[in-house]
């Protein structure tokens, strides 16, 4: 995107050049309570969603993994155990506060030998072509300004035979579930943010950003446009969340 183009920040339309800074401010605000809020918002189900994504990733010992938008490292911690001492997990986030939270957590869990950290914008991944066996991004793609460019970059740095996994909030299947989800997202979720994190606005943005994210079939098409093949997706919890997967053949 050029600096004169517009994009969405939740339901607001803003200049594309402003989005990264605004997203950074949101996660600066919520970083210290991020894990607690994840458990409260999803009633702990996010752990099952992430476990399913890890299983789909098919990580093997000795592999090199890039985890984009790592946050506090839920996926990276699992990958570190799977790749073993001869493998490598590159844990990244565009937000320094979130990356620092993840670094502290990984040190606390003793995961220091095969994990490295770097601040990365997913639209401009600073690694050579064909560098990684698997690339993951969990609950981060919707915050990226130019999602197609990010997917193009993932394809570029993925090795032939590797896979990309996108775990993200999506579009629930069926009107009853959609209506219930809307009520929860816009009435209940911001109130949790206000009480627990003292930040109602950031959690209102998160709810809005989910609604503006491409639906399952649109995102699958974007992955195919990036060059990924055999793309599919798996709906979880009625489509509230979906795991998309694509391969570089």
Q: What is the C-alpha to C-alpha distance for residues 210 and 142, in angstroms, rounded to an integer?
A: 7
Q: Return the bridge partners of 232, or none.
A: 245
Q: Are 181 and 159 in contact (CB under 8 A)?
A: no
Task: Find out whether 74 is annotated in a ligand binding site.
Answer: no
Q: Are 99 and 119 in contact (CB under 8 A)?
A: yes
Helix (H) or strand (E) holding 138: strand 132-138
Alpha carbon of residue 225 to chain centroid: 19
Instruction: Encode 40-77: b = buried (16+ Cβ within 10 Å), e = exposed.
Output: bbbeeebeebbeebbebbebeeebbbbbbbbbbbbbbb
Task: Find out whether 146 is annotated in a ligand binding site.
Answer: no
- Which token pair is 192? 């949790």
Q: Are 101 and 32 in contact (CB under 8 A)?
A: yes
- Which token pair is 212? 């503006």
Task: Find out whether 93 is annotated in a ligand binding site.
Answer: yes
Task: Find out whether 72 is annotated in a ligand binding site.
Answer: yes
Helix (H) or strand (E) holding 103: helix 96-108
List, as residue ranges, the binding site for S-adenosyl-L-methionine: 72, 93, 121-122
List, as residue ranges, the binding site: 72, 93, 121-122
């Amino acid at each position: 995107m050029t600096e004169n183009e517009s994009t969405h920040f939740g339901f607001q339309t803003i200049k594309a050049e402003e989005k990264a800074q605004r997203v950074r401010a949101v996660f600066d605000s919520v970083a210290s309570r991020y894990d607690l809020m994840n458990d409260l918002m999803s009633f702990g189900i996010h752990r099952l969603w992430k476990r399913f994504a890890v299983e789909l990733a098919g990580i093997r010992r000795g592999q090199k993994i890039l985890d984009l938008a790592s946050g506090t490292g839920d996926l990276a911690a699992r990958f570190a155990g799977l790749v073993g001492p001869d493998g490598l997990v590159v844990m990244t986030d565009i937000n320094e506060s979130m990356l620092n939270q993840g670094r502290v957590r990984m040190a606390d869990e003793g995961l220091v030998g095969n994990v490295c950290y770097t601040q990365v914008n997913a639209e401009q991944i600073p690694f050579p072509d064909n560098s990684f066996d698997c690339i993951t991004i969990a609950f981060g793609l919707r915050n990226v300004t130019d999602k197609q460019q990010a997917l193009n970059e993932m394809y570029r740095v993925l090795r032939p035979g590797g896979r990309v996994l996108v775990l993200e909030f999506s579009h629930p299947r069926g009107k009853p579930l959609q209506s219930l989800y809307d009520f929860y997202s816009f009435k209940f979720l911001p109130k949790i943010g206000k009480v627990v994190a003292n930040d109602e606005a950031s959690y209102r943005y998160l709810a809005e950003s989910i609604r503006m994210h491409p639906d399952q079939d649109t995102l699958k098409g974007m992955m195919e446009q990036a060059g990924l093949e055999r793309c599919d997706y798996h709906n979880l919890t009625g489509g509230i969340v979906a795991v998309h997967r694509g391969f570089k053949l």
